[in-house]
Amino acid sequence: MRKLMGACLLAAALGAAAPDPVEWKLVDGPGRPLKPGARFEVTLAGKIQPGWHIYSLKPMTEGPTPTRIWITDGQPFLTTGAIKASAPMLVMDPSFNMEVETYEGDVSFGVPVRVAGSLDPGTQVLVVNVSYQACDNKICLPPKTAKATLPIDITR
């Protein structure tokens, strides 16, 4: 029992103290002011540190936490379709004893967006959430949610 508690405390300490091996940002916005109701696509770009990986968008019933991307509720933007992802690598993951789809290095996701229909002119901030699990060849960090933001100019 003491060994189990010690292992749990060590895992919690490692997870709490570990730096995030993935940086996220929104790039390739519309590049021009948009009218209410306009559709556009932004790219959510992830930079994964060497030796680390994250998992694809593919849902899994058991195993690691897949990546999930969504637009935060309560803002004047909506997702208008499926997220487009760069091609993942199919690998055997010894930690989970199963084949999984992973990303290493740079990864990008296309997020289709629509501006709300009734909106006053000005700058609005698009907030995109990404939930993911980062692992290396020894440990998996607890799943984490990050936010990426991009100002979008709205016109009439």
pLDDT per position as a tens digit, 95-150: 788 999 999 999 999 999 999 988 889 999 999 999 999 999 888 999 999 999 99
Residue whose entry in the numeric block shows the structure tokens 């909106």: 119
- The C-alpha atoms of residue 147 and residue 128 are separated, in whole angstroms, by 6
Q: Of 99, 102, 27, 112, whose CA–CA distance to 57 is shortest?
A: 102
Which pLDDT does position 60 carry in this prediction? 84
Single pTM value for the model? 0.84
The model's pLDDT over 55-85, given as tens digits with 9 standing for 90+, comes to 999 988 888 999 999 998 999 999 999 999 9
Which pLDDT does position 62 carry in this prediction? 85
- The C-alpha atoms of residue 156 and residue 53 are separated, in whole angstroms, by 43
CATH C-level class of 20-154: mainly beta
User: With 50 as the cut, is the pLDDT of residue 50 above it?
Assistant: yes
Band of residue 20 on the pLDDT scale cut at 50, 70, 90: very high
Which pLDDT does position 2 carry in this prediction? 41
Burial of 153 (0-12, 13-18, 19+ CB in 10 A): middle
- The residues facing 78 across adjacent strands are 114
Which pLDDT does position 112 carry in this prediction? 97
User: With 70 as the cut, is the pLDDT of residue 15 above it?
Assistant: no
Rounded average pLDDT over 25-47: 95
Q: What is 4-39 written as a DSSP string?
A: HHHHHHHHHHHHHHPPPSEEEEEE---SS-B-TT-E
